[in-house]
Structure 1
């Protein structure tokens, strides 16, 4: 199978890097600080959604801004504690791409996204973060904004995601979707292609764009 693209758009957490240990530590502490019960917390989908939306689901509106600032501080401060690392295949796959042909599209704030990316030595030329949008994944806005920033028709973009919300965002934007089974099982992920991680893929840059293929 070969996928032809003009631009490649990557979610960050769970796609390029793993931050599960950090997320678990920080959100558990945050929930305790704000008096959220384990039962309430267990019902919330954390992965792939902006912190502001998660906080709004759990807390009174008047304290949401303070709570969002608090979880951002906790997660940024936790980055040096070793809770973030590159997922298999990330470095080699990104290194094979021209810098103006790919972007990172994350539900994290720009401050947090840049802290995590810097920690693993990834420096995207284009980054779309929670600060840049009005509606988060599964709305198509984040990926449409990235396509516009790269000057590419959404129909010629490929989205790489690990979470159902992100894949739904990519589909709604009219893009080809590739799912990674790093945080969810394959049957939970609706995509044009499902892989374990980026080590399953190779990229060939041509005059027409990028050809993405499964490794033998």
Structure 2
């Protein structure tokens, strides 16, 4: 059975949260007439909520609904959130297409190593699938992106830190958890992967650097792209002795007996 390399999207493939999702949320709020603008500090809290619809829905306190003149019934609110989210997804994917969100260091390199070695490739994310595919294609190229299985968005009801998206990925890939390595960037993502029994490497990102990554097999600043972007090791409990870059050989050691 071929091993698999499974990536989260936001914060892993690209630094999407600060430069993509946050401005897209704020532009959407302005377009639909909401008196809301999330600051960096605000978004550091909202980013811990898995899923864009869920982040928007968290605004809907009774006081906010009355103040903004929004629907008070649950069905009306769900329909409204769906419209907001479609608008936001369109704004976000436009930013990706415009090249505003460069891929994180080492992702494209590691993907090529894995593909050459016959590994399965996948993305497992609670973001909307169009957004995920746009980031993936921009980061690794359209041709290589076609080799990925994508499990995203509302494919599961429970979002991270629940393990559901990773359990779905394992079923879809037809593999056991012991045969896969996940690349995550957040404590929520790590918790989801660990609950699915998956070995997980963490590459910290803008909003997650201070989170608790207990249980990760490796924690690094990035996957690394020498000589311009070198990996800084934060935690290496398996003593992989990562140098300037995280290589496929390091990941292989994590899942090989």
TM-score of the superposed pair, with normalisation by structure 1 = 0.82
CA contact (8 A) 1:79 1:115 kept: yes
Q: CA deviation at 1:37?
A: 5.5
Superposition RMSD in Å: 2.6
Structure showing greater Rg: 2
**Which residue of 2 is the match for residue 102 of structure 1?**
121
Q: CA deviation at 1:47?
A: 5.7
**Which residue of 2 is the match for residue 25 of structure 1?**
23
Note the 1:61-72 alignment, pairs <5 A: 61=74, 62=77, 63-72=80-89
1:92 aligns with 2:104: no
Q: Which runs of 5+ in 2 are unaligned?
A: 66-73, 225-244
Q: Specify which of 164, 184, 191 is matched with residue 187 of structure 2.
A: 164
**Which residue of 1 is the match for residue 252 of structure 2?**
211
Q: Which runs of 5+ in 1 are unaligned?
A: none
Q: Which one has more relative contact order, counting CA pairs under 8 Å at least 6 apart? A: 1
Q: CA deviation at 1:70?
A: 1.8
**Which residue of 2 is the match for residue 36 of structure 1?**
36
Partner Cα distance (2:9, 2:37) in 1: 28
TM-score of the superposed pair, with normalisation by structure 2 = 0.70
SS in 2 for 1:126: strand
1:57 aligns with 2:54: no
In the TM superposition, what whole-angstrom CA distance separates every residue of 1:170-191 from its partner, at most 9, and x where no partner exists? 0111111211122322553332
Runs ≥4 in structure 1, deviation > 3 angstroms?
Answer: none
SS in 2 for 1:198: coil
**Which residue of 2 is the match for residue 202 of structure 1?**
247
SS in 2 for 1:114: helix
Say if 1:101 and 1:48 are closer, same or farther in 2 by CA, change over 3 A. farther
